[in-house]
Amino acid sequence: MRIYVAGHRGMVGGAILRQLQAKGDHQLITRTSAELDLTDQAAVQAFFAEEKPDQVILAAAKVGGIVANNSYPAQFIYENLMIECNVIHAAYLAGVQKLLQLGSSCIYPKMADQPMAEAALLTGPLEPTNEPYAIAKIAGIKLCESYNRQYGTDYRSVMPTNLYGPGDNFHPENSHVLPALIRRFHLAAQSGADEVVIWGSGKPRREFLHVDDMAAASLFVLGLDAEIYAANTESMLSHINVGSGSDISIRELAEMVAGITGFTGKITQDASKPDGTMRKLMDVSRLAQMGWHSSIALEDGIKGTYDWFLTLDTDELRQK
Ligand SMILES: NC(=O)C1=CN([C@@H]2O[C@H](COP(=O)(O)OP(=O)(O)OC[C@H]3O[C@@H](n4cnc5c(N)ncnc54)[C@H](OP(=O)(O)O)[C@@H]3O)[C@@H](O)[C@H]2O)C=CC1
Ligand SMILES: C[C@H]1O[C@H](OP(=O)(O)OP(=O)(O)OC[C@H]2O[C@@H](n3cnc4c(=O)[nH]c(N)nc43)[C@H](O)[C@@H]2O)[C@@H](O)[C@@H](O)C1=O
């Protein structure tokens, strides 16, 4: 079995690669973005024609936190649409029968009922800070469903909640909240600062899943028997939520990270920064009924991620 993992140097792609390597019974195909720019249609088609993978895991994307999404909307919609169109179409042309692509919980309407079930897709307006990225991710689901309906492929989609873990991006502005807070609280604890500022009101709630759980869920969904997948999904509502099933406020999260990094000063809020969606909790019952549950508790996962962060030298702080 030859499996192409697109985005293998990223946080999720890297975790998937490690789990596939540990299983050891696959031939893994990888390319960095410098070797193969997935926004380049001709290059992607040539790569697929030459490598002819049996399966594809699409974990390559333009990814970032709330401010990155708000600052670079053109890149978020263009690059993600191009990557999805090129990879999914080239996979089809090369005869790839099975593919798994990763979306995001931001596909759901800003005011979706909580927890958000798969059926909430396309039922209302999106959160404006990440609408371009969300539109691209919705297109990814619809690409898979359309190829399945017209060409009989078996292309599946998982929708991760907010992820974190080793391999995360710790950029001070462009990263997601958890790596941003780990970095900021660590630097404050080291320097003896008496205050750390977090963005927004601290009131939004987010659900976090460790990347090793996400990688395990991805391989679980990819490996599901086609009849079981079909029995638990619908042809035009085929994506599967992946989450931990519980959420926490950003303020509570900041207090947890402060405790783990040893910061004892005060935590204040910068109201000029956006809150984004007030709550994004996944309904994970579809995945649960197929037999998968997350296993890494948030505090344990953050401690492990902080230990990994401490192994990085300053130049390696992933200033993507
Ligand atoms: N992180 C999170 O909280 C969440 C992530 N997701 C989704 O999970 C998936 C993986 O995200 P994550 O691992 O965090 O992202 P990362 O930013 O860590 O990794 C993304 C990878 O995509 C590759 N890539 C980006 N653009 C291109 C391109 N033009 N051509 C080829 N490769 C490219 C990069 O390759 P290289 O390193 O070689 O440049 C990079 O390693 C994405 O689909 C994302 O939308 C969903 C919900 C939450
Ligand atoms: C995964 C997901 O990620 C993004 O959506 P988001 O959930 O809003 O992600 P976020 O992690 O950036 O913020 C979560 C909350 O945390 C608050 N917050 C506090 N302090 C910091 C801080 O220092 N950095 C960041 N980034 N946020 C902070 C911040 O104000 C917000 O209220 C989208 O890219 C979306 O497209 C997507 O898919």
Residues in the annotated binding site for NADP(+): 7-13, 102-105, 137, 160-163, 176
From the CA of 177, how far away is ligand 2's center (Å)?
A: 5
Looking at the 3D structure of the chain, how many domains does it have? 1
Provide the b/e sequence for 16-27 (b: ≥16 CB within 10 Å): bbeebeeeeeee
Q: What is the 8-class DSSP label of residue 160?
A: E
Residues in the annotated binding site: 7-13, 102-105, 137, 160-163, 176, 184, 199, 206, 275
Rounded to two decimals, the ipTM of the complex is 0.98
| Residue 80, pLDDT score | 98
| Residue 320, pLDDT score | 42
Domain that includes residue 138, residue range = 2-319
CATH number, domain at 158?
A: 3.40.50.720
Q: Quick one: 198 exposed, middle or buried, by C-beta within 10 A (0-12, 13-18, 19+)? A: buried
| Residue 316, pLDDT score | 59
| Ligand whose nearest atom lies closest to the CA of 75 | 1
Tell me the residue length of the chain. Answer: 320
Q: pLDDT digit of tens for each residue in the chain (320 aa)?
A: 999 999 999 999 999 999 999 999 899 999 999 999 999 999 999 999 999 999 999 999 999 999 999 999 999 999 999 999 999 999 999 999 999 999 999 999 999 999 999 999 999 999 999 999 999 999 999 999 999 999 999 999 999 999 999 999 999 999 999 999 999 999 999 999 999 999 999 999 999 999 999 999 999 999 999 999 999 999 999 999 999 999 999 999 999 999 999 999 999 999 999 999 999 999 999 999 999 999 999 999 999 999 999 999 765 564 44
Q: Quick check: 274 and 200 in contact, CB under 8 A? A: yes
